[in-house]
Amino acid sequence: MALEWKNVEGENYLVYTLEKGEKIDELAKGMLENNRIPGVLPFSFFQKDDECELVFPCENLTQKSIAAVDLEEEDKQKELLRKTLEDYSIKTARIETPSDCRIFNQDGLEMFVVLPVLNEQTSRLGAYIEKMILK
C-alpha cells in the first residue's frame, strides 16, 4: 500500500497500512525507534485487530513539490541512507517517499520514510541474514 496523508486535528501525518502478507521486522523496528538516524522520519506503530499502521508525524517539516527537488541528489541521499541503515543492522527495510511531494527538516535535510516491513521475499532474506549473523 502507498503512503497516505492524513490530517488529525490540524496535524499532518503520513500513514502506511501493512498489506496482507506483510509483517513488521521487529529488529528493524526496534533499531529505528531507539536511534535517531539522520534523514529518517520517526514513527509510531499502531495495531488494532489485524490492521497495523506506521504513522509518521510531519510537524515542523517543509513539503516541496517533486519538480523543486533534484532527483539525482535524492538518489544519492537514499544510497547514503541505505548504507547508514546497514550500520544499524537494518537490511530489509524499504525507503519510501510520498508520491506527491518531498519532505525536508528545518536544516534542509530530506527526510525519508523507512518501513520496517517484511513480505515473503524479504522475510526469506531476513532469515538468511539472521542465520549468517548467529553463526
| 73-85: b (≥16 Cβ within 10 Å) or e | eeeebbeebeeeb
Residue 1's contacts (CB-CB under 8 Å, 6 or more residues apart) are 16, 17, 18, 19
Parallel/antiparallel/unpaired status of strands 44-48 and 51-57: antiparallel
Domain spans in the chain, listed from the N-terminal domain onward: 4-134
Q: Identify whether the C-beta of residue 49 lies closer than 8 Å to the C-beta of residue 76.
A: no
pLDDT tens digits, one per residue of 18-75: 998 999 999 999 999 999 999 999 999 999 988 999 999 999 999 999 888 888 999 9
Question: pTM of the entire structure?
Answer: 0.83
Q: Retrieve residue 53's grid coordinates.
A: 499502521
Percentage above 90 pLDDT, the chain: 75
Closest CA to 22 of 50, 44, 43: 50
pLDDT tens digits, one per residue of 86-101: 999 999 999 999 999 9
Residue tagged 520517526 (cell numbers): 42
Dihedral, 63, 23, 128, 115 alpha carbons, nearest 10: 10
pLDDT, position 1: 66
Q: How confident is the model at residue 132 (pLDDT cuts 50, 70, 90)?
A: low
Q: Rounded mean pLDDT of the chain? A: 89
Q: What are the respective helix, strand and coil percentages of the chain, to the nearest 5? A: 35, 35, 35
Cα–Cα dist 96/38, whole Å:
15
Distances (CA, A) of 94 to 25, 49, 81, 107: 11, 24, 11, 24
pLDDT, position 18: 95
